[in-house]
C-alpha cells in the first residue's frame, strides 16, 4: 500500500500517524498499539492478542469491505467498535464481473487460445455452441451494492436477470429490476451464467459445493469476484473436467497466493482440455487508480469523523 502520505494529509489537523509497515500480526509492537486512538488496517490480521493491547483505541477501521481477518467479536468484547469501508470499488468489481461474463459467454479466451494454431483456415473456426446474450439468463447471487451494479450493467445486453438474496426485502427486485429466485437451487437450475456477489460467512462458505454445482445447467458459466471460500475448488475442478460447466472466471481463490491444486496446475500449464475455459485474475477486481485513492480517503475520513466527535460511519455490528 505504500506510505500513509494521503492519510496523513487528511488527519494532519487532529492526529499524528504511526505507520506499522507489516502485514504480520506478531510484528505489531504492543507499546505502540497501546498509544493508538484509532487503528486503520488493510491486510494485517487482528486477533485477540492484538486487541488486548488496544487499551486506548476508540475504533478499528478496515480499508476494505471484507473483514474475515478481523476478530470483530474480540473487539466488541473489549468495547472497541469496528467499521469497514463498503463505499469504494463498487464500479470496478461490477465492471470486472460483467467483463468476465461477456468474454466467457462469447468464448473470447478460448478463441484466442485456439486461434494460435490456425494456419490455412481462419474464420471457419468459430466455436459452437455460442449463444447470443439476448435471451440468455444470468443468475446474480447477492443483490447488494455490487450485485445491483452488476444487474444495471447487464440490462442493456438483453439478458434475463435472476437474483437470489434472502437479505433483501420483498419488492427489492421490482425496484432494481430482476426476477427473484426463492432459493439458490432454483436460481442455478435456470441460469446460463451464475455470478457471485455475497460475503463469506458461516452460512455462505462452501456455498457452491459438488451437490450445488450438479444442479447447474449443463454448459453453464460461473463467475466469482466475491470471496474464494464460496466455491469448493475440488468440485469446480470436477465440473469443468467433466464438461458439466462450460467455463469459470475467478478473481478470488480459497488461498491467496494459491496453494498447489490440480485445477490451477492445469490452468498454469494451459492444458488443452481447459484452454480458455478458466480465467483467473489475482484478486484485483476492486482495483483502479481512482478506487485506490477513494479507498484510502474514505477510510481516513471515517477516522477523522470519529476523532472529531461526529460518530463512526459504516459500523459493523456483531450478531
For the annotated catalytic residues, the residue numbers are 227, 256, 283
With beta carbons less than 8 A apart as the criterion, state whether 96 and 73 touch: no
Burial (CB count <10 Å: 0-12, 13-18, 19+), residue 275 = middle
Beta strands in the chain (DSSP E): 39-41, 60-62, 82-83, 137-141, 160-164, 179-180, 193-196, 220-224, 245-250, 278-280
| Region class of 89: left (phi > 0), else alpha (psi between -120 and 50), else beta | left
270 DSSP 8-state letter: T
With beta carbons less than 8 A apart as the criterion, state whether 63 and 42 touch: yes
206-219: buried (b, 16+ CB within 10 Å) or exposed (e) per residue?
A: ebbeeebbeebbee
Please state, in angstroms and rounded to a whole number, the distance separating the CA atoms of residues 141 and 150: 11
Please state, in angstroms and rounded to a whole number, the distance separating the CA atoms of residues 59 and 80: 5
Phi, psi of 62 (to 5 degrees): -90, 135
85 DSSP 8-state letter: -
Please state, in angstroms and rounded to a whole number, the distance separating the CA atoms of residues 118 and 275: 15
Amino acid at each position: 500500500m505504500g506510505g500513509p502520505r494521503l492519510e496523513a494529509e487528511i488527519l494532519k489537523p487532529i492526529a499524528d500517524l504511526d505507520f506499522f509497515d507489516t502485514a504480520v500480526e506478531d510484528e505489531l509492537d504492543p507499546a505502540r498499539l497501546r498509544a493508538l486512538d484509532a487503528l486503520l488496517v488493510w491486510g494485517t490480521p487482528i486477533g485477540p492478542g492484538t486487541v488486548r493491547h488496544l487499551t486506548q483505541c476508540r475504533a478499528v477501521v478496515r480499508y476494505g469491505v471484507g473483514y474475515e481477518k478481523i476478530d470483530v467479536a474480540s473487539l466488541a468484547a473489549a468495547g472497541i467498535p469496528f467499521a469497514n469501508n463498503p463505499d469504494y470499488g463498487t464500479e470496478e468489481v461490477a465492471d470486472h464481473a460483467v467483463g468476465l461474463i461477456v468474454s466467457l459467454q462469447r468464448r473470447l479466451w478460448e478463441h484466442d487460445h485456439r486461434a494460435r494454431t490456425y494456419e490455412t483456415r481462419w474464420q471457419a473456426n468459430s466455436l459452437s455452441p455460442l449463444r447470443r446474450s439476448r435471451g440468455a439468463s444470468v443468475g446474480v447471487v447477492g443483490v447488494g451494492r455490487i450485485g445491483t451494479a452488476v444487474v444495471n450493467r447487464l440490462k442493456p445486453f438483453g439478458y434475463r436477470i435472476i437474483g437470489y438474496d434472502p437479505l433483501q426485502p420483498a419488492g427489492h427486485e421490482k425496484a432494481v429490476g430482476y426476477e427473484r429466485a426463492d432459493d439458490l437451487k432454483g436460481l442455478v437450475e435456470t441460469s446460463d451464467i451464475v455470478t457471485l456477489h455475497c460475503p463469506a460467512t458461516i452460512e455462505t462458505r462452501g456455498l457452491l459445493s459438488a451437490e450445488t454445482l450438479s444442479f447447474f445447467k449443463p454448459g453453464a458459466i460461473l463467475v466469482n469476484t466475491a470471496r474464494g471460500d464460496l466455491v469448493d475448488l475440488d468440485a469446480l475442478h470436477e465440473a469443468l473436467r467433466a464438461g458439466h460447466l462450460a467455463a469459470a472466471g475467478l478473481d478470488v481463490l480459497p488461498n491467496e497466493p494459491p496453494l498447489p491444486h490440480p485445477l490451477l496446475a492445469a490452468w498454469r500449464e494451459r492444458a488443452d482440455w481447459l484452454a480458455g475455459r478458466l480465467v483467473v485474475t489475482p484478486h484485483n477486481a476492486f482495483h483502479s487508480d481512482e478506487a485506490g485513492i477513494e479507498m484510502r480517503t474514505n477510510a481516513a475520513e471515517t477516522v477523522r469523523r470519529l476523532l472529531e466527535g461526529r460518530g463512526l460511519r459504516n459500523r459493523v455490528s456483531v450478531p
